[in-house]
Amino acid sequence: METQTKTSVAKDFFINLGAVIALGMVVGYLINLLFTVINKAYPVTTGYNYGYYGSYSISWPVATLIIAFPVYILLMWFLEREYAKEPEKRHMGIRKWLTYITLFLAGLATVGDLITVLYYFIDGRDLTTGFIMKALSVLVVALAVFFYYIYDAMGKSNSTSRKVWIFASFLIILGSVAWGFSVLGSPRTQQLLKYDEQKVSDLQNINGQVTNFYSSKGFLPKTMEDMSSGDYYGVSRVDPQTQKPYAYEKTTDLTYKLCAEFNKSSDDKTSQTYPYVDMMPYGSTSASWTHPAGRYCFTQTINPNTYYKPMMPVYQ
């Protein structure tokens, strides 16, 4: 009998703990998803953008929500079934502890969110649409969790109210995922954007090789094959999507082109730029990697004045 009681306590402990962890994952990745979509839909124009397409990926939060939310519902269903058989289990210590920890964290998030909004207002900062929507996202999610658990702790929740809460949560998650795909594109679009991201990254690496070649030899390579020895290995020169080599064309003694085939058009809000001169590839004056869809060539220019030239001794 004692062994059976210990087994039951252990089972209840891990089911309650699993439910809280699953809830934490749902809340965390729902806010992550909303923030990512808001960042894309309402970008902040500061002139300093470090990201490219990958910074707007919603694959991980969507995948987590699709798995974690049903797991949470399933674990809560197990608990409610146990409580229906043994009502005294609702007053277990572990359940109370986890409930009040959840309430504490939800209340902390609510207070922190309100403090942040008030601070921005008092400090005279711009309350942009994106900022307000992020603040509302955190506030709504945190309050929803807080009020659900406070009603449960007070014993006011019942089967009907729990079903309403589950249905409302499902609609919020479904709407957030749908909004994410409408703003950022379908999974196929995400795949194409990741190909484009990799292509830009490869071209940037090739660009670095070209400038290094000029730095060491004093002239531009005629073809990419000229950089096939020495310290120029380790950079992919093949398009990962088409398996065709990227194009390099020397146009003058100080200019050249790097070309690739892109799936989607980029814009100033998503393209990668170098915010400071010293972050640009050495000797290159082109900092933008914005491109249209289709085949596009980036024209790069070498500035010979940026390279070190040893001073010759002067004889009288």
Q: pLDDT digits over 131-176, tens only? A: 999 999 999 999 999 999 998 888 788 888 888 999 999 999 999 9
Is the confidence at residue 231, as pLDDT, over 70?
no
Is the confidence at residue 55, as pLDDT, over 90?
no
Comparing 302 with 8, the larger pLDDT belongs to 302
Is the confidence at residue 23, as pLDDT, over 90?
yes
**What pLDDT does 45 receive?**
58
Distance between CA atoms of residues 203 and 189, nearest Å: 21
Q: Which of 14-28, 37-51, 70-84, 298-312 has the lowest mean pLDDT?
A: 37-51
Q: Which of 73-77, 123-127, 174-178, 274-278 has the lowest mean pLDDT?
A: 274-278
Is the confidence at residue 307, as pLDDT, over 80?
no
Task: Kindly indicate the confidence band of residue 189, based on its pLDDT and cuts at 50, 70 and 90.
Answer: confident
End-to-end CA distance of the chain: 106
Name the most confidently modeled range: 14-28, 86-100, 213-227. 14-28
**What pLDDT does 300 receive?**
93
Comparing 256 with 2, the larger pLDDT belongs to 256
Is the confidence at residue 279, as pLDDT, over 60?
no
Distance between CA atoms of residues 66 and 25, nearest Å: 11
What integer is the mean pLDDT of 164-189?
Answer: 90
What integer is the mean pLDDT of 263-278?
Answer: 53
Is the confidence at residue 204, as pLDDT, over 50?
yes
Mean pLDDT of all residues belonging to the chain: 82
**What pLDDT does 278 receive?**
38
Is the confidence at residue 41, as pLDDT, over 80?
yes
**Reported pTM:** 0.69
